[in-house]
Structure 1
Amino acid sequence: MKRLRNARKPLGDIPPWKLYPLFFAVVYFSHLTLLRLPYFWDEAGYYIPAAWDFYRTGSLIPQTTLTNAHPPLPSILLAAWWHLSGFVPSGTRTLVCMVSAAALLGVFKLARSLCTRSVAAVTAILTAIYPIWFAQSTLAHADIFAAAFTLWAFAFYLEPEPASSTRNQISVAFLFSLAALSKETAIVTPVALALWETFLLIRSSRAIPRREHTRWIIALLIPILPLAAWYAYHYHATGFIFGNPQFLRYNATANLGLHRIALSLWHRLLHLTVHMNLYVAVICAAAALFIPATPESPKGLQKPALQAIAVIFIANWIAFSILGGALLTRYLLPVYPLIILLCVTTWHRHLRRWWLLAALTAAAFLSGIWIYPPYPFAPEDNLAYRDMVVLHVEAVHIIEHRYPKAIVLTAWPATSELARPELGYTRTPIKTVAIDNFSFGEIEKAAADPGSYDTALIFSTKIDPRGINLARANRASDAKYFDYHQDLDPTEVAALLHGNIVWQAHRNAEWAAILRFPRIVNASLTPLSLPLR
């Protein structure tokens, strides 16, 4: 009978650790075609080299790439996993799938504790297939690690009437500490919640609630301590607190102009409500609010949960409109499941056939994984990153086999792809000459020193739709504040550098090309003096 009762146990009552294999299997097999891709963009630029240095030397401070003071937990976890899987991209991406599955399980736990099992299941599914989350589920960026710990901490924070409040506070302090040691900006969420608890403390007049708010404030501020300890160690080891000066300037001090902040707030609001077809879920939720809920309608999120979600939304919206030189959407990764949860609970409360809106949103999210939106976006926001990696693999393979002694003019990240065999693009290092991008100004600089290279690998560094482009009017401000530029096409680069296109290919809006430059060498005969015999 006990075995029969366990078989009939509701899904939401099953311990999370028993559900984890299901979540991991779904994430792993849905990303099966991506697991062997070489490392991409910021993976290649920082996270993999930093973890690779720790794996080989045990140093928490990167040796083969510039340190930018990111906390070391992702490097430690990656290096530990490589001892089991080997240092191969498929092993790395399997670990990231495991982390993503754990994060989705945290989303399910959070939604299940606040709503019904059906709402929790739909929220987890929609989060998993949301294009940004789907793409990040195999990319070894620190953000997916921080998101997993943050979502689990928030699930414990909002757990209604816990059996042990002290146990939950310890769990929240520990998990938010791990989040902060994964990505320093993850500290924004616990600090925002601590400020919210302080506000509730000031408003409360009863002794017991005031004591509970005080304990929560302490628990939420504890994660500052390990993060501060890491920065103290980094300063001791390098002489810099927040990384090298260029990194600090690009991501913080250069972003404090009021005009830039106002533009960033607008961009971030679009990221949190519209980007990658999220507008479908948001519009459906807004429309559902016009349908009155009846007394028989399911209960939605309670006021404390709504307030906490609003605090996290506003804090991350403002913080990441100031911090970060590039407005990358992965910085907002923990917030997207909360927005989806708000939408799903709204549908569920106001509509009997709410699952139709869930199906419509799922279709929009799935299409967004492959279909490019009509405005510029980062390749890592959907499978555009796969298009870019596949093109670069083919281009580097051609250079390696046809021109192994070439000196290649190119831009980052191809400079790293050619020079670092451990990234998975080449077996032997290839010499490079670096430029910032393939805009007219940078190509002019390269044309001034034609003897320093004999080959060029050029590619799309920005996705800029050629047809309908909803962001065309923003080009001036985007160029001034967000590094927008227009890459010249291969024909234009070949004309300016006097080279020949020997290979080019396209995948959707991504493209790449290889150029060779015939050089004329002046030779002269020098009489050879022979000794007399």
Structure 2
Amino acid sequence: MLRKRLQSARNGEKQLAALPLWMLYPPIFVAVYILHFTLLRLPYFWDEGGYYIPAAWDFFRFGTVLPVSTMRNAHPPLPSILLAAWWKIAGFHIYSTRLFVCLIAALALLAVYRLGRILADEAVAATVTVLTAIYPIWFAQSSLAHADIFAAAATLWALTLYFTQKRKYARPLCLLLFTLSVMAKETAIVTPAALSAYELFLAWRNRRNSLIRREHLQIFAWISSTVFPLIAWYIFHRLKTGFTFGNPEYLRYNATANMSVHRILLSLWHRLVHLTFHMNLWVVTLCTAAVLLLPPLRTRNGEDRTTLSQHALWAIAFIGVANWIAFSILGGALLTRYLLPIYPLLLLICVSLWRQRFAQWPLIATVALAGFAVACEVNPNYPYAPEDNLAYRDMIELHQQAISVVAHRWPQATILTAWPVGADLIRPELGYVRIPLRMTPLENFSAQEIVKAMGEQDRFDTAIVFSTKYLPPGTSSTTNMPNDTKYFDFHDDMPPQEIARLLHGDVVWQADRKGEWAAVLRFPRTMDAHLRLP
């Protein structure tokens, strides 16, 4: 096994000598920049405005790695540090932030290319890189300032070094990169943990060969030590805040409330869909299943055309299964961006199998690419997170328009709304308002929340209501999925006309895009005024 691994590394290193990677980074970045050009000035979205930008903004102003203007949820500080350092160079504004994220996304794609070149060949590497860049989930995250793209970039570069352990610097640099990944997002520890388990498995399997066993144990020791910087961060966080893993509500939502067998099984199913079907990934899955029915093609020497090595396939399998299980337990919301580094690994396996067994494999890649491009713009016919494709752009623009209507026509209004618009109204740095507006918060626009608002009508005179959950056109309700309602906060937002009727107001502006909608409501209030002489 070790001899095969070293031979695979040597073959990979010969291919790496073909073209310096530094020459590939500029064209990759230019391609990412051009593809995202129309998105680079959009205001911040959802968790960007809810945590990551405020946390980085606090570090930029005060030099504290613990946020002071937003919740403390124990996320490691690397994204805040990197963003603040970039703002020192390029200035604090939305365009510079999105430009920086594009730079990180291009760096991650370069790692995808290098990984493909090490484990397969130039053609497979280039194909996987293009497919990854256009896959809707990756495409959407390539300009959003979430921690996941930072963690994915570090993780993928660490994997390139894991598969080229021949070089002396590979192990310490691999450790450094895995450390950067977990200091970008704590859940990135799943991948080095999976590789540590794999190395222990290899050590056990080769237990009769002391030389090989010692080699695997040494690799295990290097990779597993990734956990120590994360432990140090949590100790520091507890000393400073009194909480190890964030405030109790955050810990409950993302961990302790998820320890139900029924929920875990349901989450495993959802995650399996995310990894095989979601956003037209079913095209890749079905094509791969079809080519597996074909025998391997023959080379000119009469040998079967090879695919990824057994070592690479097993390592990726350990990583994939570990992430599938871990993210079915951790995290209150089943966001697909948590799986960001797994998608290029799955695509690498699939594309290498296409090339091994089907002579016209570029045709399959073209069909898959077209499917991904369509999924970027065309929403699926089931509920999903808008940040999985360009629905997030539609949502931002609708919120922008609604907020602009209120800011220009009723700048002194007190606005009933829900998160994230509530944060957008009071934080000018998020890009929606120049001056903070007054706001009264709701959880969402379900019937239960509107009934609460009916008893507090003296606290607001305007409302910005919008779709907090995506509902496909032609679908009347998401509450016909009781398990998703119970475990994943599925609910039905009341239509604006019904909200206006119950709260005795009028719909003064309304717009919708591809299943996303927003509206402005105005409530005439009767005032009792008295004129007094001075």
Verify the 8 A CA contact 1:198 1:213 in the aligned structure 2: yes
> Would you say 1:183 and 2:185 are equivalent positions?
yes
For 1:72, the aligned partner's letter is: P
Verify the 8 A CA contact 1:12 1:117 in the aligned structure 2: no
Verify the 8 A CA contact 2:297 2:358 in the aligned structure 1: no
Distance verdict in 2 for CA 1:211–1:327, change over 3 Å: same
1:482-532 Cα offsets, whole Å, 9 max, x none, are 000000111111111111111111111111100010011234678x7x9xx
Among 494, 498, 507, the residue aligned to 2:504: 498
Verify the 8 A CA contact 1:35 1:138 in the aligned structure 2: yes
Verify the 8 A CA contact 1:12 1:112 in the aligned structure 2: no
Verify the 8 A CA contact 2:258 2:264 in the aligned structure 1: yes
| Counterpart in the other structure of 1:456 | 463
308-317 vs 220-229, greater mean Cα deviation: 220-229
> Would you say 1:121 and 2:126 are equivalent positions?
yes
Among 258, 277, 284, the residue aligned to 1:281: 284
| Counterpart in the other structure of 1:231 | 234
Distance verdict in 2 for CA 1:454–1:460, change over 3 Å: same
Distance verdict in 2 for CA 1:206–1:468, change over 3 Å: same
1:254-299 Cα offsets, whole Å, 9 max, x none, are 0000000000000000000000000101100110011111332531
1:439-475 Cα offsets, whole Å, 9 max, x none, are 1110110011110000000001111113269x96862
| Counterpart in the other structure of 1:5 | none
Instruction: Give the CA deviation at 1:69.
Output: 0.3
For 2:76, the aligned partner's letter is: P
| Counterpart in the other structure of 2:365 | 358
1:57-115 Cα offsets, whole Å, 9 max, x none, are 00000000011000000000000000111111110001100110010100000010011
Among 123, 133, 136, the residue aligned to 2:138: 133
Q: Give the CA RMSD over aligned residues.
A: 1.6
Secondary structure of the structure 2 residue equivalent to 1:13 = coil
For 1:196, the aligned partner's letter is: Y
Verify the 8 A CA contact 1:11 1:117 in the aligned structure 2: no
Equivalenced residue count is 516
- Whole-angstrom distance in 2 between the partners of 1:389 and 1:379: 10
TM-score (norm 1): 0.95
Distance verdict in 2 for CA 1:10–1:116, change over 3 Å: closer
Verify the 8 A CA contact 1:157 1:169 in the aligned structure 2: yes
- Whole-angstrom distance in 2 between the partners of 1:30 and 1:472: 33
For 2:194, the aligned partner's letter is: A
- Whole-angstrom distance in 1 between the partners of 2:322 and 2:497: 46
- Whole-angstrom distance in 2 between the partners of 1:468 and 1:513: 20
For 1:345, the aligned partner's letter is: S
Verify the 8 A CA contact 2:150 2:181 in the aligned structure 1: yes
> Would you say 1:520 and 2:526 are equivalent positions?
yes
Distance verdict in 2 for CA 1:11–1:177, change over 3 Å: closer
1:389-415 Cα offsets, whole Å, 9 max, x none, are 011111111111111111000000000
> Would you say 1:402 and 2:409 are equivalent positions?
yes
Instruction: Give the CA deviation at 1:351.
Output: 0.4
- Whole-angstrom distance in 2 between the partners of 1:128 and 1:525: 66
- Whole-angstrom distance in 2 between the partners of 1:196 and 1:474: 42
Instruction: Give the CA deviation at 1:140.
Output: 0.2
Q: How does 1:430-509 map to 2 (within 5 A)?
A: 430-467=437-474, 475-509=481-515
Verify the 8 A CA contact 1:503 1:515 in the aligned structure 2: yes
Distance verdict in 2 for CA 1:329–1:439, change over 3 Å: same
1:363-400 Cα offsets, whole Å, 9 max, x none, are 00000000000100101000000000011111111111
> Would you say 1:45 and 2:63 are equivalent positions?
no
For 1:235, the aligned partner's letter is: R
| Counterpart in the other structure of 2:5 | none
| Counterpart in the other structure of 1:264 | 267
| Counterpart in the other structure of 1:313 | 320
For 2:147, the aligned partner's letter is: A
- Whole-angstrom distance in 1 between the partners of 2:414 and 2:475: 38
> Would you say 1:217 and 2:223 are equivalent positions?
no
> Would you say 1:64 and 2:66 are equivalent positions?
no
Secondary structure of the structure 2 residue equivalent to 1:512 = strand
Secondary structure of the structure 1 residue equivalent to 2:67 = coil
- Whole-angstrom distance in 2 between the partners of 1:496 and 1:261: 38
Among 497, 517, 521, the residue aligned to 1:511: 517
Verify the 8 A CA contact 2:478 2:490 in the aligned structure 1: no
286-295 vs 85-94, greater mean Cα deviation: 286-295
Instruction: Give the CA deviation at 1:10.
Output: 8.0
Task: Give the unaligned 5+ runs of structure 1.
Answer: 1-8
| Counterpart in the other structure of 1:331 | 338
Among 323, 346, 351, the residue aligned to 1:344: 351
Secondary structure of the structure 1 residue equivalent to 2:465 = strand
Q: How does 1:85-100 map to 2 (within 5 A)?
A: 85-100=90-105
1:170-223 Cα offsets, whole Å, 9 max, x none, are 121110000000000000110111011111111212122112111111111121
| Counterpart in the other structure of 1:4 | none
Verify the 8 A CA contact 1:293 1:350 in the aligned structure 2: yes
Could you tell me the percent identity over the aligned residues? Answer: 55
For 2:417, the aligned partner's letter is: T
Task: Give the unaligned 5+ runs of structure 2.
Answer: 1-13
| Counterpart in the other structure of 2:175 | 173
